[in-house]
Amino acid sequence: MTNASDTPKPCKACQDGEQLPFDFTMAFQPIVDMRDRSLFAYEALVRGVDCSGAASILSRINEENRYIFDQSCRVKAVELAARLQIPCFISINFLPNAVYQAATCIRATLEAARRFNFPTNQLIFEITENEKLVDKEHLKSIIREYKRQGFKTAIDDFGAGYSGLNLLAEFQPDIIKLDMELVREIDQDPVRQAIVKGILGVCAALNIEVIAEGIESQEELTVLIGMGVYLYQGYLFAKPAFEHLPEVNWPVDV
């Protein structure tokens, strides 16, 4: 039997229904599948309403407004995805430290999906955490709940910071996104090639899909395709577009 004192309490912002003191919007960048040159997903990226970059918004996030910002990002991404009639997955970044209890904190997202008539089975939740102070058990509980709800989960910037192979021993997301520093000029770097091959082998054994992000050159793409990577995101295909879906530039020599 669970005691009332054992139940996680919502943060003050949730209880009080506070609103952010600033506004923001989203840009969208495609994630493509090179097997059939199709769209796999669009990532929703935070922008200022004046078209300013993510840094202008993220610099205003603190401990007091972290939860409200995280919730607002989810709702804004779903609203715009529905308005733009995104036909594939939408990848939404979230801050694990802003989630006090996964089942409760997902309610606003589910309500937004119902309100804007966007299919919940097209949602990917992408773990991003710059502070690197994330409790692994907490992450496991979030991923477990999101999988139960039928969402896909992804780890962003895999290979950078805390996002290393040791995390995969604790929990297995549906997708990892190779950090762009691992793929930058990989065509010229045998060390990076060896590291990526090792990661791909682990992911294949664990049935985890891999997205190579930050792809900027035809040479990087050619080498990664040769390694068996088929999902890509980067300027080679399209830059993020402010509140609309950019046209994809498909490479002609691959």
- Report the C-alpha gap between 219 and 102 in whole angstroms: 41
Determine the average pLDDT of the residues in 97-115. 79
Active-site annotation holder among 43, 129, 209, 213: 213
Among residues of the chain, what percentage have pLDDT more than 70? 86
User: Cα separation of 247 and 26, whole Å?
Assistant: 17
Q: What pLDDT was estimated at residue 9?
A: 44
Residue 65 reports pLDDT greater than 90:
no
Residue 168's pLDDT is 81
**Distance in Å from the first CA to the final CA of the chain:** 59
Task: Decide if pLDDT at 11 tops 70.
Answer: no
**pLDDT tens digits for range 193-232:** 999 999 999 999 999 999 999 999 999 999 999 999 999 9
**Both tokens assigned to 76:** 């804004």
CB atoms within 10 A of CB 16: 10
Structural domains in the chain?
21-164+231-242 (3.20.20.450)
What pLDDT does residue 133 have? 52
Higher pLDDT, 47 or 171: 47
Confidence bin at 148 (pLDDT 50/70/90): confident
Beta-carbon contacts of 223 under 8 Å, excluding residues fewer than 6 positions away, are 186, 187, 193
pLDDT band at 101 (very low <50, low <70, confident <90, very high): low
- The whole-number pLDDT of residue 81 equals 97
pLDDT-derived band at 102, boundaries 50, 70, 90: low
What tokens does 199 get? 């990661």
* Mean local confidence (pLDDT), 157-179: 80
Which helix (DSSP H) or strand (DSSP E) does residue 56 occupy? helix 54-58
Greater model confidence, 96 or 141 = 141
Active site residue 213: yes
CB 46 within 8 A of CB 54: yes
pLDDT of residue 141: 82
Q: Work out the pLDDT band at 159, boundaries 50, 70, 90.
A: confident
Q: What is the mean pLDDT of residues 163-175?
A: 80
For every residue of 66-120, DSSP letters joined together read HHHHHHHHHHHHHHHHHHTT--SEEEEEE-GGG-S-HHHHTHHHHHHHHHTT--G
For the segment 107-117, the average pLDDT, to the nearest whole number, is: 91
Which 3 state secondary structure label does DSSP give 126? strand
Contact between 124 and 154 (Cβ < 8 Å): yes
- Backbone φ, ψ for residue 59 (5° rounding): -65, -15
Give the pLDDT confidence score for residue 4 in this predicted structure.
Answer: 37
